[in-house]
Structures are given as structure tokens and as C-alpha cells.
């Protein structure tokens, strides 16, 4: 069964929440009264189910393709975007990622920004190469958002691009690079970030560097504790 991009199969009913079961019945044309009888629920509960799912699925129901969904997401508020993206099933998620990767270069500037933000929220390794290229884009917002998205994804392939971004001419881009490197944290950026901490006059960059350094120091202490424990066990 499907309505727009909302697809469901009663053979897998155990995978659906109570709200979704009520909502999918409504998509089949069942009235609230019928759903109440089928599910043995009171009217207020069913109405709450339907309201919550209409908010959750409203973009998917109206979309016939990933392109339609992307256009709807562009116009949505941030909170709605997050709700929709979190509700995507695996198939629709993969289709949206494929659409973004395939069409990214043809998008306008604002649509590129939206696409990059979505890539970060979807956290797919498939988008890493595009995001790495975006870290050297001429537009500051594109660079900043791409660096943030790479941090959310946390793929180590992005580390060199993030280290390079520490030398960006825009201080906000630099601070985002430090924060994203903190999430990957292999240690390769340690010296540069310590040097940046000592040289920057921007408090927010200094704070980002401080957080990175604290995390790295804690990781090294934990590693040392584990190593000492292993030696004692030998």
C-alpha cells in the first residue's frame, strides 16, 4: 500500500507504532469511528494518533518523488525538516540521498545549502565525497555547512579536508572545522589545533580549540590507563 512516498505493508504490522497503524488505516479511507472499532480505542486517542502522524508524514504524503520531497523540505522550518528526515524509512532515505548526490551540482546556491544540511542530518557516507569538495567552495556558507555536515557524519576520510579548513580565511569556518575534527579525533590535527589555540584572537575559536584539546588529553589518559592495566595483568 502507498500514498505518495508513504508505503506500508500489513504483513509487517509489528514494525509500526500504534499511531502509524491508526494513520495507515485512515489513508485507506477508514473513518475515525471505524478505526476506533477496529483498534478498540477511544475517539480522543485515535484523533491524537492521526494528528501526530499527519504532522510527521505530511510532506511524504504529498510527494510523488524524491525531487518533490526535497522541494517541500526546502520550504519547511528546521524542526519540521528534522521530524520528516527522522521518519524516513530506509528506502525513501536512500532515494533522497541518491537524488541529492546525483543532482547536487545542478542546484542553485540556496538549494545547495539545503542539500548539504540534509546530507549532514542523514549521516550517509555516500555523501562524503561531495561534502569534501564543498569545503573549498567560494561561498562561505557552503564551506561552513559542508564542514559541519562532515562532522555529523564522522567519516575519517574527511579528516584531511577538515585539517585544511583550519587555514580558511573565514573564522567561522575555522571554528566549525575544529568542532568537526573533535568528532573524528584521530590525533593528526593535534599540533595545528594547539597552535591555533595560542595564535587566535577569536574567543569562540579558542573555546572550540580548548574543547578539542581537553577531549584529546582525556582520550590519551584513558588509553594510558588501559595500557597500564594490560601490563599489570601480564
Annotate 171-184 with three-state secondary structure. HHHHHHHHHHHHHH
Residue 3's pLDDT band (cuts 50, 70, 90) = confident
Which residues constitute the domain of residue 169? 107-233
What is the domain count for the chain?
1
The pLDDT value given to residue 82: 92
Mean pLDDT over 68-95 rounds to 92
Average pLDDT across the chain, whole number: 92
Residue 2 pLDDT > 90: no
Domain for residue 68, yes or no? no
More confident residue, 6 or 119: 119
Domain for residue 53, yes or no? no
Residue 223's pLDDT band (cuts 50, 70, 90) = very low
The pLDDT value given to residue 232: 57
CATH code assigned at 203:
1.25.10.10
Helix (H, G, I), strand (E, B) or coil at 161: helix
Domain for residue 225, yes or no? yes
Domain for residue 24, yes or no? no
Residue 221 pLDDT > 70: no
Mean pLDDT over 144-169 rounds to 97
Mean pLDDT over 159-164 rounds to 97
Reported as type and span, the H/E element at residue 9 is none
More confident residue, 199 or 234: 199
Residue 224's pLDDT band (cuts 50, 70, 90) = low
The pLDDT value given to residue 117: 98
Best CA proximity match to 177, nearest among 190, 155, 161: 161
Mean pLDDT over 180-202 rounds to 93
Best CA proximity match to 123, nearest among 148, 87, 91, 160: 148
The count of other CB atoms within 10 Å of the CB of residue 214 is 11
- Cβ atoms 86, 72 nearer than 8 A: no
The pLDDT value given to residue 58: 87
More confident residue, 32 or 3: 32
Mean pLDDT over 136-140 rounds to 98
Cα separation, 167 vs 140, whole angstroms: 13
Residue found under cell 543532482:
103
Domain for residue 166, yes or no? yes
Mean pLDDT over 1-18 rounds to 89
Domain for residue 43, yes or no? no
Domain for residue 61, yes or no? no
Residue 111's pLDDT band (cuts 50, 70, 90) = very high
Domain for residue 125, yes or no? yes
Amino acid at each position: 500500500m502507498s500514498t505518495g512516498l508513504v508505503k506500508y505493508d500489513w504483513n509487517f504490522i509489528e514494525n509500526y507504532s500504534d499511531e502509524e497503524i491508526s494513520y495507515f488505516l485512515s489513508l485507506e479511507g477508514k473513518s475515525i469511528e471505524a478505526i476506533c472499532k477496529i483498534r478498540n480505542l477511544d475517539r480522543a486517542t485515535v484523533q491524537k494518533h492521526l494528528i501526530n502522524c499527519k504532522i510527521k508524514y505530511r510532506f511524504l504524503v504529498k510527494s510523488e518523488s524524491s525531487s518533490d520531497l526535497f522541494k517541500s523540505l526546502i520550504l519547511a522550518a528546521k524542526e519540521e525538516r528534522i521530524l520528516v528526515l527522522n521518519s524516513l524509512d530506509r528506502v525513501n532515505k536512500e532515494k533522497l540521498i541518491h537524488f541529492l548526490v546525483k543532482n547536487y551540482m545542478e542546484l542553485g546556491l540556496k538549494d545547495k545549502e539545503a542539500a548539504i544540511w540534509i546530507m549532514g542530518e542523514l549521516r550517509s557516507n555516500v555523501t562524503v565525497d561531495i561534502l569534501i569538495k564543498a569545503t573549498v567552495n567560494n561561498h562561505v556558507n557552503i564551506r561552513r555547512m559542508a564542514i559541519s555536515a562532515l562532522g555529523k557524519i564522522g567519516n575519517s576520510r574527511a579528516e584531511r579536508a577538515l585539517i585544511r579548513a583550519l587555514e580558511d580565511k573565514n573564522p567561522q569556518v575555522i571554528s566549525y572545522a575544529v568542532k568537526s575534527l573533535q568528532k573524528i579525533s584521530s590525533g593528526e590535527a593535534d599540533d595545528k589545533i594547539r597552535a591555533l589555540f595560542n595564535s587566535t584572537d577569536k574567543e569562540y575559536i579558542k573555546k572550540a580549540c580548548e574543547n578539542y584539546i581537553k577531549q584529546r588529553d582525556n582520550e590519551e589518559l584513558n588509553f594510558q590507563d588501559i595500557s597500564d592495566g594490560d601490563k599489570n595483568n601480564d
